Amino acid sequence: MKADVIIAASGASVRAGSDKLRFDLGGIPLLARTVSAFSSVPRVENIIVVARADSEEFVSSLAAYAGEKGYKTVTGAATRSESVLNGLKAASSEAVLVHDGARPYPTAALINAVIDSVERYSSGVPALPLNDSVRIAHRGALTGEFPRDSLLSVQTPQGYLREELLKAYAATPGKEFTDESARYAVIHPEGARVVPGEERNIKVTSYGDFAALNAKIGIGYDIHRLVPFGKLMLCGVEIASETGTLAHSDGDAAIHALIDALLSAAGEADIGTWFPDTDPRYDGIDSSILLTKTMAILAAKNLRPVSVSIIIRLERPKLKEYIPVMKVKLSSILGISADNIGVSAKTGEGLDSVGKGLAVAAEAAVLIN
């Protein structure tokens, strides 16, 4: 059975504050991700995007993300229901799938399961059980229980026989429903058939959703030779040690790994490019200053760290007692809570250069947005 997809992309995005369908997801607009989710499913024939009149040019520009599929832009209407009907009129396959433009992550398996359900039961609606308890509230108090097992959270794509969905519209003219399954139930009292939904298939709604989706990951690494003199600095804290680092700056391997992780997450060149060891300005410099400069490089791109995790590899001394101080020091430079900074210490078990006490190394992973 072939299916056409109607992507509802004409909403006003009021809750998100701006046009969420244009939101940048790893370099391409959110709506392009939604379109491409359907382009890889062989039984999908046409992708029909219902757009606001002022977005039609943008929506048409996403045709390449539909791959080999037919791709049409249809003008939306005042309500979601009427907009979907406009899309429905442009469809021609036996089945239609109605999908929210702001749901970029349905898998091919889910889309296929919905089409299979339309084939067998004339309809298919993905839904998930609720995780939270549901209560009836009245004037700020919980007054009654609701049987959670009888409730489902409904997703899209919702699949129907095209003719049946047209009939449901004809039977309910001008009536607004929050989704097609409610309209379908008017002429099919047995209701639309449930297909297991997917946790990942979220509808992007709030700024918080965007921030999480757009987080960038970075990793960094550094190693410094240890010598029987000099200072040992780690995470901006001086360590009482019989050996120190041999380096151009203060040799803080942990901060250097962290700087590289931050620069990497921001898509920037590495620490050696930004702060070359041939530059006399960085002779013996406190690495905390380099970290502060790195924060400014990120800030210029409106990026900030969210979460930081560091492993320091050193044979001796033990670093356990220094870790709380390190976290406070990094917290003050990074501008995030010490709870969002993890620092752990490992020895080299006498094995490699760290294990033989010849070097201190560090690895860092960061999330920024």
In angstroms, give the least distance from the CB of 313 to Mg ion.
Answer: 14
Of 111 and 359, the one with the shorter C-beta distance to Mg ion is 359
CA distance 295 to 262: 8
In angstroms, give the least distance from the CB of 269 to Mg ion.
Answer: 15
Mapped onto helix, strand or coil, the DSSP state of residue 227 is strand
In angstroms, give the least distance from the CB of 76 to Mg ion.
Answer: 55
- The binding track of 185-224 with respect to Mg ion, each residue x by CB under 5 A or -, is -------------------------------------x--
112, two tokens: 């296929």
Of 110 and 330, the one with the shorter C-beta distance to Mg ion is 330
Inter-residue contact 180 to 84 (CB < 8 Å) = yes
Of 180 and 222, the one with the shorter C-beta distance to Mg ion is 222
Of 100 and 222, the one with the shorter C-beta distance to Mg ion is 222
In angstroms, give the least distance from the CB of 279 to Mg ion.
Answer: 14
In angstroms, give the least distance from the CB of 253 to Mg ion.
Answer: 6
Q: Can you tell me which residue has the tokens 């056409």? A: 4
In angstroms, give the least distance from the CB of 294 to Mg ion.
Answer: 13
Mapped onto helix, strand or coil, the DSSP state of residue 327 is helix
How far is C-alpha 299 from the geometric centre of its chain's CA atoms?
21
Please name the helix (run of DSSP H) or strand (run of DSSP E) that holds residue 365, with its range, or none. strand 359-368
* Window contacting Mg ion (CB under 5 A); options: 154-162, 249-257, 258-266, 290-298: 249-257
How far is C-alpha 15 from the geometric centre of its chain's CA atoms?
18
Of 47 and 362, the one with the shorter C-beta distance to Mg ion is 362
Inter-residue contact 65 to 99 (CB < 8 Å) = no
Of 162 and 256, the one with the shorter C-beta distance to Mg ion is 256
In angstroms, give the least distance from the CB of 270 to Mg ion.
Answer: 11
Q: Rule CB under 5 A: which of 9-68 touch Mg ion?
A: none
Mapped onto helix, strand or coil, the DSSP state of residue 294 is helix
313 binds Mg ion (CB under 5 A): no
Of 267 and 272, the one with the shorter C-beta distance to Mg ion is 272
The verdict on whether omega for the bond into residue 324 sits within 30 degrees of 0, i.e. cis, is no
Give the number of other Cβ atoms within 10 Å of residue 2's Cβ.
13
296, two tokens: 């400014």
**Which residue of 52, 80, 103, 256 would you call a contact of Mg ion, by CB under 5 A?**
256
246, two tokens: 């041999």
CA distance 110 to 107: 5
Q: What are the residues binding Mg ion (CB under 5 A)?
A: 222, 256
